[in-house]
Amino acid sequence: MNAEPRLARVAAAMADPTRARVLARLLDGRLHTAGELAAHAGVGAATMSAHLRLLVDEGLARVRPQGRHRYFGLADGDVAHALEALLRVADGRDAVPAADLRRWQKPEMRGLRHARSCYGHLAGELGVQWREALLVKGWVTATPDGRYAVSGAGREALAELMPEGFAGTGRALYDCVDWSERRDHFAGPLAVAWLDALMARGWLQRVGESRELRLTPTGRIGLLEGLLGATR
């Protein structure tokens, strides 16, 4: 089967500036109404409906009817990872790393670099630090299939954070290259559940309507000084 025509259609669907803004907004992992997305992209309702219909038809977005509203999100994690990869390409300045570093040190980018949501899991400096600490402590171990599993020690240490435990199928962890850090953070259903738990405890808070996450004073104590055994 020749996949090139399909690839061309998907690429064309992503290439439109309005749809690109919509896809970037959906990277926060939340569901949004067409009206919210239209306001974000600066277009009318009819125009946004046409864009969303195309994104759903091409398998880039999904729609969930609920009551009088229809909510839109990214189709799945594969789409999110593809978008993150494209963001790295679009932002790539590997040949001039100093310029890249200066960009991320700008005041308006510092918060986004420190912590943000990536399709529902934790990314940025804090996401990379979270992954590295879990591996160093032995709370997470690699599996033969290239994914990761929570160890017995990890289950015990994280039981208070996630009282529901780690049982269930499909709660895998896997690596996702971080857009700003160029290193891996954890993705997958379990990583999403972790971020949900961190936010439910009030350790992380969303900043407005962006993907940026802010570490709260309670989170600084509980996460950095407690679970990760680090101080700032």
The answer, yes or no, to whether residue 18 has pLDDT greater than 90, is yes
Residue ranges of E strands in 126-189:
140-142, 148-150, 174-177, 184-187
Within this chain, do residues 153 and 71 fall inside the same structural domain, yes or no? no
Q: Is residue 17 part of a domain?
A: yes
Instruction: Identify whether residues 223 and 131 lie together within a single domain.
Output: yes
76 Cβ partners below 8 Å, 6+ apart?
A: 62
Question: Is the pTM for the entire model greater than 0.85?
Answer: no
Distance CA 71, CA 124 (A): 27
In a domain, 88, yes or no: no
Number of domains in the chain: 2
Same domain? 125 vs 67: no
Same domain, 42 and 103: no
Cα(14)–Cα(44) distance, rounded to whole angstroms?
19
Range of the domain at 205: 96-227
CA distance 178 to 112: 12
Residues of the chain with pLDDT > 70, as a percent, come to 84
Q: What phi and psi, each to the nearest 5 degrees, are found at residue 62? A: -130, 155
pLDDT for the residue numbered 120: 85
Tell me: the pLDDT tens digits for 110-136?
A: 878 889 988 888 999 999 999 999 999
**Bridge partner residues of 175 (DSSP):** 186
* CATH code (residue 32): 1.10.10.10
> Based on the domain organization, do 106 and 217 belong to the same domain?
yes
Indicate if 26 and 117 belong to the same structural domain.
Answer: no
Same domain, 113 and 191: yes
Q: Based on the domain organization, do 116 and 30 belong to the same domain?
A: no
